[in-house]
């Protein structure tokens, strides 16, 4: 099959599969694996970012305090015992 060339700014460009099959470019229907009720929902994760920061700090600060007070419980691999 002979390829058609298109002119783009003075240069010939070979025809692509999308040029030969226009249905490959896009679909008029949205096909997803999500259930129909979840497909149209929009979740705003960035808006309540201060709440997410607070939730993160609730977990991070006790962990840092625990490390500072108790330290690490090193196993035999790191204590040098046999």
Q: pLDDT digit string (tens) for 15-68?
A: 666 566 555 555 555 566 667 776 677 888 889 999 999 999 999 999 999 999
- As a whole number, mean pLDDT of residues 63-76 equals 91
| Residue 3: pLDDT over 70 | no
Rounded-to-integer distance, Cα 59 and Cα 53, Å = 10
- What residues does each domain of the chain span? 9-79
Rounded-to-integer distance, Cα 31 and Cα 43, Å = 20
**12-16, 18-22, 75-79: the lowest-pLDDT one:** 18-22
């Amino acid at each position: 099959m002979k390829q058609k060339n298109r002119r783009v700014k003075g240069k010939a460009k070979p025809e692509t599969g999308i040029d030969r099959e226009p249905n490959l470019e896009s679909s008029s229907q949205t096909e997803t694996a999500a259930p129909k009720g979840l497909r149209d929902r929009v979740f705003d994760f960035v808006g309540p970012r201060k709440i997410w920061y607070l939730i993160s700090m609730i977990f991070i600060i006790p962990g840092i305090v625990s490390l500072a007070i108790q330290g690490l419980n090193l196993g035999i691999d790191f204590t040098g015992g046999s």
